[in-house]
Amino acid sequence: MMAAGQKRNTLVYAQAKKALDQMKYEISKELNIDTSPIQGDYWGYMTARDCGAVGGHMVKRMIEAAERTLSQQAVANVQAGFRSGLANQQQASSQASAKNPTNPNLNLNTIDQYY
């Protein structure tokens, strides 16, 4: 029996509890772990090996999701920076073309469709 006040693993976002519980059961099902000893939401009758496997896979998936999100953000930032630089280049080009004749072979408008 755990002493009162010993639970320190509180959720940062309480709204995530339902999703994490669902994830726990999905992973245990994928790993063919028998969840019949679970009473309510008490996993204390499960083996440490089974609980560790479920927890380890949960952490692995959360890390993968975080890496995917960071990667997508980095790509979005690079694309936004490229578009901003391209817009600045086009603005400078249009200012320069007012002073100089235009080059018909240079079309910066089509470069955006490749990125």
Q: Under a CB-based contact definition with an 8 Å cutoff, are residues 106 and 86 in contact? A: no
What is this structure's pTM? 0.60
Reading the chain (115 residues) residue by residue, the pLDDT tens digits are: 455 556 677 778 888 888 999 999 999 999 999 998 888 888 889 999 999 999 999 999 999 999 999 999 988 888 888 888 877 777 776 666 666 555 556 565 665 555 5
Q: Report the C-alpha gap between 24 and 57 in whole angstroms.
A: 9
Q: Under a CB-based contact definition with an 8 Å cutoff, are residues 69 and 102 in contact? A: no
For the chain, domain boundaries:
14-98
- Report pLDDT digits (tens) over 20-37: 999 999 999 999 999 988
